[in-house]
Chains A and B, each alone.
Chain A
Amino acid sequence: MNCLLCHTPYNPITSWQHFLTLKKADCLCAKCRNALLKIAGDICDICGRPSAGLKPSHHQKRLCADCIRWQADDEWKDVLTKNRSVYMYNDFMKEVVALWKFRGDYAVVQAFQDEFCREFYRHFDNTFLIVPVPLSAERLFERGFNQAKALAELLALPIHELLCRRHLEKQSKKSRLERLRTENVFHLSEQTSLQGKPIVLIDDIYTTGTTLRHAAKVLLKAGAASVSSLTLARG
């Protein structure tokens, strides 16, 4: 077999589990698999950022400095119940995401399948409505696919595309303040009542959390009980 990412041939480790169940062999070689760093250990209760490596001044009790700032702001307090991310956004992950999202190599998403699903069921369950963060129509045409939807499809649960997005300049080129100040680019795709339903947003990367909070706000306004998020990587 050849590794999905580096294309070098490797021998996937097969055990009795692969014979007896439908579990598939890993599509990455051991080297690439180990380079994807999973988030483990102590994390911020809200945004899921690992506390290890942060200065004491950057986190208090169970929250990181960013989330304390969010919580201090009446407008944004408790908009996002919690975010959980699967991987650290390290250099390797940046390369992988660039290949997947910007170069458009859709097949890369397979590499995240097992761990993304496991993380979903660890923090959420199938009572949650799964809502992928949308792209604007222009960006969707440019990329050819929505990476958040591709992730949501890994879960093999019904997907609810409740949101639409207006076209704006790319998020990744803006600072936190700029992101905060931008007006909300999301709106509901149809008038539905979300009365009392918990929602989990799916996206690729949590950087400042602004995008997710903007989306969450729209959903809360429509009556969602709570909005959490699951992202592939924590920037």
Chain B
Amino acid sequence: MRFIVDKGRLIPEALAKTGKNAKPISHIDFTSSLQPTPGFPYSPELLSFLEGRQLLLEELPFSLHLIQTHYEHGYLFYEKGIVKTKHGWRCIRCGNEDGRFFASFPCARCHTVCTYCRKCIMMGRVSECTPLVASRFSFPQPRYLSPLSWNGTLSKGQQRAAGAVEHAVAQNSELTVWAVCGAGKTEVLFQGIARALEMGKRVCIATPRTDVVRELAPRLRRVFPGVPLIALYGGSEDRGKSAPLVISTTHQLLRFYRAFDVMVIDEVDAFPYSVEPMLEYAAAKARKAESSLIYLTATPHPAWQRDIRRGKRKAVTIPARYHGFPLPVPSFEWCGNWRRQLKRGRLPRNVAAWVLSRMETKKQAFLFVPQIDVLEQVVHIVKQWHERVEGVHAEDPERAEKVQAFRDGRIPLLVTTTILERGVTVPNIDVAVLGAEDDIFTESALVQIAGRVGRSAQHPDGDIRFFHYGKTRGMVAAKRQIERMNKEAAERGLLRTQ
């Protein structure tokens, strides 16, 4: 679409009297300085639809004329979708600056060769001639009196963290909650969220994974029964709705703009947050200038760990699990050139022995492998010993069924790629990694894998074995991180004393 400029205002070509000098929005220099005109009979439907969001014109089910009059009265503003930078382009919606993710095409809307962002294309194309529309108006927020209805108890470690979260919410400050796998991170948030809702604040919990959104939404609905809550992920029915409590995948967050007073980012270390600057950008864009930012993580990035140790980053740790038993510590075992063994159709001797002994004692186990092709080879070999052994990977169409079958105890051994490293909690299992030296098994991935073991109070222990062909820094750092957490837990008196 093209705009013409009239007395410093943008007018869409379709609404202008002449099409002379019409240009794509990215080629126009303008400042959006219009302030809301008091007394303008605004459309509450449009403004509530757009509140706290930044959308494409196609995403707004309102006429261009209506949108334009709200713009002219200062109730909303247009922004360039793509801007030119010194080195190339930047997508204003998703923050992408990587030249490989830009392409151009002969655009029928602006009649120029128009550059667009391929990174966020799944949410509709943002190109040089695409305006982003955001609101300048916000409706007053309702306050909720004691919205929390939960009578669980927090562990000592959780209590301290919950206090810190509540403080951060009230003070609009930043905080990292470093909680080991199984510490009960979600409960730590309840108090802080309740406080925010009492103060009339808007809260967003962002997580990189759809599964987490789906799991978290009903839990929070139960403990905040009187508060409207929406869950946003690709294909969710709540899209386009608004509520004081939002749980969103980081992609859906891209449509928000200065919307939240409290931004909680779950599993900061998780793929893809740590490797996707887009999600960092989305969170920064979706929160208000004055807001609190809370990171929840089980395994912060090494650079963050350093910052935390040096006191540069405000953090609170929960080094002990909810049940108060120490974290099981992984052991390393060299298994030689396992890839060559697999090619010959067999597992390294110690790996085979480990697998067979789980089957004899009928203890369920996960076996993590680095790649899908390895997974297939391993499953083929192990199936000869026990036919109900299964393999599961990210693109497996039967993924959910297989995981459920494992939970029900129908599968003795599940061979898997790193997709199951977090989230899946099965009470009494052992875990092994074949090829722990692979690049995919980073420190945080290995800590998460180890975190699958000993989750329940009835079975707080289990075996974690990293089979490797050469120790890596990641393996050593993972083990050290777990041991350090156990030490801290003991020092702070958070462990159970028999």
Contact = CB atoms under 8 A, between A and B. Distances in A.
A144 interface: yes
Interface in B100-128: 100, 103-109, 114, 116, 118, 121-122, 124-125, 127
Nearest to A2: B100
Contacts of A146: 108
Interface stretch (A100-108, A124-132, A166-174): A100-108
A106 B108 contact: no
Q: How large is the interface on A (under 10, 10 to 19, 20 to 34, 35 or more residues)?
A: 10 to 19
B108 A105 contact: no
B109 A105 contact: no
Contact of B107 (A2, A105, A144): A144
A96 B58 CA distance: 22
A144 B108 contact: yes
A145 interface: yes
A141 B107 CA distance: 9
Nearest to B103: A107
Contacts of A2: 100
A53 to B, nearest CB: 21
Nearest to A153: B106
Given A144-B108, A146-B108, A103 B125 contact: yes
A99 B107 contact: no
B63 to A, nearest CB: 15
A24 to B, nearest CB: 16
Given A2-B100, A144-B114, A144-B127, A103 B108 contact: no
Given A2-B100, A106-B103, A143 B121 contact: no
A103 B122 contact: yes
Given A144-B109, A145-B105, A105 B125 contact: yes
Contacts, number: 40
Interface residues of B, number: 17
Nearest to A104: B125
A30 interface: no
B121 A99 contact: yes
A145 B107 contact: yes
A150 B107 CA distance: 11
Summarize B's interface: helix, strand, loop or mixed: mixed
Q: Which of B104, B106, B114, B124 counts the most chain A CB atoms within 10 A? A: B106
A141 B105 contact: no
Nearest to A99: B121
A2 B101 CA distance: 10
B86 to A, nearest CB: 23
A146 B105 CA distance: 11
Contacts of A107: 103, 105, 118
A104 B108 contact: no
A103 B105 CA distance: 14
A107 B114 CA distance: 12
B106 A145 contact: yes
Contacts of B116: 104, 106
A186 to B, nearest CB: 18
A106 B103 CA distance: 8
A105 to B, nearest CB: 5
Contacts of A145: 105-108
A225 interface: no
A140 interface: yes
Nearest to A146: B108
A1 to B, nearest CB: 9
A105 B114 contact: no
Nearest to A109: B105
A95 B107 CA distance: 22
Interface string A191-222: 00000000000000000000000000000000
Contacts of A104: 116, 121, 124-125
A105 B126 CA distance: 10
B459 to A, nearest CB: 38
Interface string A82-105: 000000000000000001000111
Interface in B103-157: 103-109, 114, 116, 118, 121-122, 124-125, 127
Given A103-B121, A150-B105, 15 more contacts: A103-B124, A104-B116, A104-B121, A104-B124, A104-B125, A105-B118, A106-B104, A106-B116, A107-B103, A107-B105, A140-B108, A141-B108, A144-B108, A145-B105, A146-B108
8 contacts: A99-B122, A103-B125, A105-B118, A107-B105, A141-B109, A144-B127, A145-B107, A150-B105
Interface of B: 58, 100, 103-109, 114, 116, 118, 121-122, 124-125, 127
The 3 closest A-B pairs by CB, nearest first: A106-B105, A107-B103, A104-B125
